[in-house]
Each structure stands twice: as structure tokens, then as C-alpha cells.
Amino acid sequence: MLSAPELRKLIRAHNELSKIKVPKGATADDLVKLIEANGYKVNHEQKKLEQKVKRGKQITLKQADEMFPAPKKKTQSEKDEAKRKSRENLINKVIKNKEILSDERIKNLL
């Protein structure tokens, strides 16, 4: 049996062909009823939505994962690099505007 997040992902991927509104907080049983009310059935073994009357593409969970990949997380080195660039930009801005900074502000920049 597919879980609620897997069913949501299938519906979202399938929405390119058919607009199905997913209610907030819906359970897996509610989603199955919603899918069937919109003319589709859930094939739990093959993990895909099938139209009761075939008239287009069928979306599988694997295709849905490809369409909506998990967001890429930044590594610590990428975060450190972004912080370093931000500091450099701020220092260059201060130098360009010829601002006089207090010792405390300079320590914060470095």
C-alpha cells in the first residue's frame, strides 16, 4: 500500500495532465477516494496511477521522483564559502564608500 506522501507525489506529478486539488491534512484513504473520484485508480503493486479509461500517459513513482527531486542540501564548505564571500563584499563596500569603522565593527567583519 502506498503511503500518503507517495500518493501526494504521484498526484502532483500527474497534475501536468489533470488538475486534482489535494486537501491539506488528507490521509492515505482520503487521497485514494479523491483519486478514484477523478477517474483514476491506484496500482499499489506497480506504484502508479492508472486511468479507468485510458487516454494518456501513466505516471509512476519513479517518474514523479525524477520530476520533483529532493532539494540539494549545501555542504558545510559551501556554507563557509558563502559566508566568506558575504564578508568580502561587505569589506569591499566599506572600502569603496571610505567609511570609518569602530574597532568592534572591524572585528565583526573579520
pLDDT digits (tens, 9 = 90+) for 35-87: 888 778 888 888 888 877 665 567 778 888 887 777 778 788 888 888 888 88
Cα dihedral 38/40/45/48 (nearest 10): -90
Q: Note the pLDDT of residue 16.
A: 55
CB 60 within 8 A of CB 46: yes
**How far is the C-alpha of 94 from the C-alpha of 38, rounded, in Å?**
60
Q: Note the pLDDT of residue 80.
A: 86
Mean pLDDT of the chain: 77
Q: What are the backbone angles phi and psi of residue 40, rounded to the nearest 5°?
A: -125, 165
pLDDT digits (tens, 9 = 90+) for 6-31: 888 787 777 655 667 778 888 889 88
